[in-house]
């Protein structure tokens, strides 16, 4: 990793559908760009989803043969194309 790369976990490119629920903004289904042991990056196109750093969300993988667990996550990165979400260690 480069000097400026502060990531603790190695990322793996992965495109999957996830439902993201925000207490004030509602539910959305996004595609992931990558995943790691620490979290996931969701790609937000033109959806009206604009959480702030530190906001908590619930995330659930979609399209599986059985319902996936709902995981608590925290917004830790904001870019012009999406959001980096980190697993909320205080809950999961």
Specify the pTM.
0.85
pLDDT at site 2: 45
**For residue 8, how many C-alpha atoms fall within 13 Å in the half-sphere facing its CB?**
6
Contact of 61 with 68, CB cutoff 8 Å: yes
For 32-59, the pLDDT digits (tens) are 999 999 999 999 988 899 999 999 999 9
- Domain 12-87: which CATH number of 2.40.10.220, 1.20.1730.10, 3.40.640.10, 3.30.1280.10: 2.40.10.220
Give the residue extent of every domain in the chain: 12-87
């Amino acid at each position: 990793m480069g000097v400026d790369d502060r990531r603790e976990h190695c990322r793996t490119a992965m495109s999957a559908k996830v439902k993201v629920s925000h207490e004030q903004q509602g539910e959305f289904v996004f595609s992931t760009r990558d995943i790691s042991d620490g979290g996931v990056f969701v790609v937000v196109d033109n959806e009206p989803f604009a959480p702030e750093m530190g906001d908590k969300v619930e995330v659930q993988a979609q399209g599986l043969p059985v319902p996936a667990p709902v995981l608590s996550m925290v917004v830790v990165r904001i870019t012009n194309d999406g959001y980096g979400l980190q697993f909320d260690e205080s809950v999961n």
